[in-house]
Amino acid sequence: MSALLEVTSISVSFDGFKAINNLSFEIGGQELRAIIGPNGAGKTTFMDIVTGKTRPDEGRVRFGEPQLDLLRLSESQIARAGVGRKFQRPTVFEAQSVRDNLTMALSNDRLPFAVLRYKSSTRDGERVSELAREIGLSEELDRTAGELSHGQKQWLEIGMLLAQDPQLLLVDEPAAGMTLGEREHTTDLLRRAAETRAVVVVEHDMEFVRRLDCKVTVLHEGSVLAEGTLDHVTANSEVIDVYLGR
């Protein structure tokens, strides 16, 4: 089976410094993958390239079936093609209810004005209830998003991304600032989301990565240093040297 995302030999330099160095990476259609690596390893830059925020100097980024050349698409075209990205800090509409946030996210166009003009239907109502169940916020639908805990806001934002039904979801440090219980819930949520799509999680918290129980890619100096189960990569002496042993 061909990969959903195929990144081949990409490099990018900032002022002569190679943040991504001949990086190749593949992810399958229904796969959960964790990306770990020390500060400055290139994790954010990798996500910036996949989402079209940063253009590589060299290499190819192919996505979907039939394959799209993501390097020819703008950020919004890439989002519409099925790549969702969750940034570290939640960006929900704080003054709106959880229900309204999810309903607005069902609009295909997330540009602010399109979102405000969006009119919901009964089918949307069912989908919103389903999404709320998926993210564990069924009881909170009528609360304003601003009242939610940090963890609940993160789940709401994941729900808003799932509303768009992306084929690939990129998630940046979801566990940061969460309680243990919230982390466990987040692990379940991401694992479930990856049953029907690809989910790539960038995370520093090793306990969280362990709970994800998925293939791990270790980045270092803009390239893949090791790949495999968490036990496999954490037993690798190079990984210990550059990352875990510090």
* Nearest in space to 136 (alpha carbons), one of 205, 86, 184: 184
Tokens coding 149: 């805990």
How far apart are CB 45 and ligand ATP at their closest, in Å? Answer: 3
How far apart are CB 236 and ligand ATP at their closest, in Å? Answer: 18
Query: Among residues 119 and 246, whose Cβ is nearest to ligand ATP?
Result: 246
Q: Cα–Cα distance between 243 and 38 in angstroms, integer?
A: 6
- The answer to whether residues 18 and 186 touch, using CB atoms and an 8 Å cutoff, is no
Tokens coding 205: 């918290």
Query: Among residues 19 and 128, whose Cβ is nearest to ligand ATP?
Result: 19
Q: Which helix (H) or strand (E) holds 157?
A: helix 150-163
How far apart are CB 56 and ligand ATP at their closest, in Å? Answer: 12
- The answer to whether residues 94 and 144 touch, using CB atoms and an 8 Å cutoff, is yes
How far apart are CB 154 and ligand ATP at their closest, in Å? Answer: 17
Residues that bind ligand ATP (CB under 6 A): 14, 19, 37, 39-45
How far apart are CB 129 and ligand ATP at their closest, in Å? Answer: 36
Q: Which helix (H) or strand (E) holds 115?
A: helix 112-117
Query: Among residues 43 and 85, whose Cβ is nearest to ligand ATP?
Result: 43
Query: Among residues 41 and 106, whose Cβ is nearest to ligand ATP?
Result: 41
- The answer to whether residues 152 and 179 touch, using CB atoms and an 8 Å cutoff, is no
How far apart are CB 47 and ligand ATP at their closest, in Å? Answer: 8
78: region left, alpha or beta (phi > 0 left; psi from -120 to 50 alpha): alpha
* Nearest in space to 202 (alpha carbons), one of 216, 188, 191, 192: 216
Query: Among residues 9 and 196, whose Cβ is nearest to ligand ATP?
Result: 9
Q: Cα–Cα distance between 45 and 53 in angstroms, integer?
A: 9
Query: Among residues 42 and 90, whose Cβ is nearest to ligand ATP?
Result: 42
Q: What is the DSSP letter of 244?
A: I
How far apart are CB 119 and ligand ATP at their closest, in Å? Answer: 39
Query: Among residues 41 and 168, whose Cβ is nearest to ligand ATP?
Result: 41
Q: Cα–Cα distance between 107 and 105 in angstroms, integer?
A: 5
